[in-house]
Amino acid sequence: MEDCFLACLETLSTPLPWRTAFDRIVQTARSQLIMDHVVVYVAGTHGEEAVFARALGRARAAEADVDWGSDIAHQILHGNQRLVLQEDQSTSDTNREKHPFFLGLAADAAQPPQTALVLVRFGGPPFQKADITRGRILAAFLNILRTQAEKQQRLQNLEALERQMRLQEDFVSTISHELRTPLGFIKGYTTSLLRNDAQWDENTRREFLQIIDEEVDRLADLLEKMLESARLQSNTLEMNFQWMRLDALIRDVTVREMTRDHQLEVTLALTATSPIRGDSVRLSQVLENLFSNARKYAPGAPVTIRSWQDERWVYLEFSDQGPGIAPEHQPFIFERFYRAPQTTHAKGTGLGLFICREIIQAHNGKIQVHSSLGEGTTFLIQLPRATLPPAQEEKIA
Ligand code: ADP
């Protein structure tokens, strides 16, 4: 049994899943303990549940037909027995597989036990005292491995929780900073305007009021986007998926944007694409964010939008010929609050592209950026094509 001890010690010092580790121990113990089947059962909500099963010798080929000792496990897990021996001595059938000898052992100290180890020998020999002792050692190893795995799992859960809490703390501190900046401006300029000991000419007053107005807009925009992003992250933003065509949506949003901004120069290169399952309000929001960014970061530069498809995806490409984004910032621009250092004084929250990505991902799609400094920026969106009954084709907008 020394080999078995050594195998156990080795597996304990390597981060193996408990099943792999136990399997190694079982293989090593085989030379000391004859067993055809080794099965581990745990107490589940619907009775005993096999969580490990190994066929070692005889009856390996007939795994589906033989008895795996679930009755024995039941006596341990539900009958609160710590040791069950069952021997089939009948001689009516010469097939060994029809004569299983069972040794069942409780593998933990709980009352009733939560884990049972069942060893099966087909056609004997019966389990002797020494076999039972070896079986107990095996059960003890099993208990160590399972307890260790449980602890590991708990530790991982705790670490995930800790990470989440840290993110939340970062979020709160970033948010308070983001809110404080516009509030500071608003407070400063209103205090200046209200001072009794100062006289402001009309132009200065207007300039101050304009700054206040812009900062209030920024606050409102920040709050709106924060709410959206929080809802998107917690999956509580409702999506209303319907059959729709992306090329039609691009046309609609572009017309709206051009009516709002007469300087905007947009080229559309759209091919009629297959229907998708999408939330048209949310997808419009994605496009509006891209338009808003193009206006802010590439003012006056022409925009081109293309659409096409292959067998799996419908694609939308949104390009501007603006200043572009430096390569070192590109990997981060979809992260919450990330803003690349600005050459213009464009205001923003760093939430727009995060929201775009979340919306696209909620559609099982992808969004990427390709950009070269001085040449422009391209956002590539892909959304899964959906197959639609032909009769419905005409009804889609
Ligand atoms: P915001 O515009 O509020 O800062 P976004 O999440 O929409 O936040 O964008 C993140 C960053 O990506 C921006 O701060 C900007 O640096 C960069 N960016 C986005 N779109 C463009 C673009 N079309 N051209 C250049 N830079 C862009």
d(CA 321, CA 104): 74
In this structure, the residue with its CA closest to atom 16 of ligand 1 is: 340
User: Is there an atom of ligand 1 within 6 Å of 290 CB?
Assistant: no
What is the sign of the dihedral through the CA atoms of 369, 370, 376 and 382? Answer: negative
> β-strands 242-244, 366-372: how paired?
unpaired
Q: Which atom of ligand 1 is nearest to the CA of 341?
A: 16
Q: Which atom of ligand 1 is nearest to the CA of 354?
A: 6
User: Is there an atom of ligand 1 within 6 Å of 370 CB?
Assistant: no
- pTM, rounded to two decimals: 0.57
Residue-wise pLDDT tens for the chain (397 aa)? 666 677 667 777 777 889 999 999 999 998 889 999 999 999 988 889 999 999 887 555 555 556 789 999 999 999 989 999 998 766 666 666 678 899 999 999 999 999 999 999 988 889 999 999 999 999 999 999 999 999 999 998 998 888 777 766 776 777 787 788 889 999 999 999 999 998 899 999 999 999 999 999 989 988 888 888 888 877 777 889 999 999 999 999 999 999 989 999 999 999 988 999 999 999 999 999 999 999 999 999 999 999 999 999 999 999 999 999 999 999 999 988 788 887 677 877 788 998 999 999 999 999 999 999 999 999 999 999 987 655 554 444 4
Q: Which atom of ligand 1 is nearest to the CA of 298?
A: 24
What pLDDT was estimated at residue 187?
A: 95
Q: What is the dihedral of CA 267, 272, 276, 279, to 10 degrees?
A: 40
What pLDDT was estimated at residue 397?
A: 44
395 CA → ligand 1 middle, Å: 37
User: Is there an atom of ligand 1 within 6 Å of 321 CB?
Assistant: no
Q: Which atom of ligand 1 is nearest to the CA of 379?
A: 23
Q: Which residues contact 98 (CB under 8 A, 6 or more apart)?
A: 88
> β-strands 313-320, 37-44: how paired?
unpaired
User: Is there an atom of ligand 1 within 6 Å of 376 CB?
Assistant: no
Q: Which atom of ligand 1 is nearest to the CA of 340?
A: 16
Q: Which residue from 188, 40, 11, 191 is spatially nearest to 108, judged by alpha carbons?
A: 40
Mutate to test the pocket of ligand 1, among 304, 339, 360, 375 (most ligand atoms within 8 A of CB): 339
350 CA → ligand 1 middle, Å: 7
Mutate to test the pocket of ligand 1, among 181, 293, 335 (most ligand atoms within 8 A of CB): 293
The phi and psi torsions of 17 (rounded to 5 degrees) equal -60, 150
Q: Which residue from 175, 189, 182 is spatially nearest to 218, judged by alpha carbons?
A: 182
What pLDDT was estimated at residue 92?
A: 63
Mutate to test the pocket of ligand 1, among 266, 333, 358 (most ligand atoms within 8 A of CB): 333
In this structure, the residue with its CA closest to atom 19 of ligand 1 is: 293
User: Is there an atom of ligand 1 within 6 Å of 76 CB?
Assistant: no
What pLDDT was estimated at residue 93?
A: 61
Q: Which residue from 34, 28, 108, 41 is spatially nearest to 68, judged by alpha carbons?
A: 41
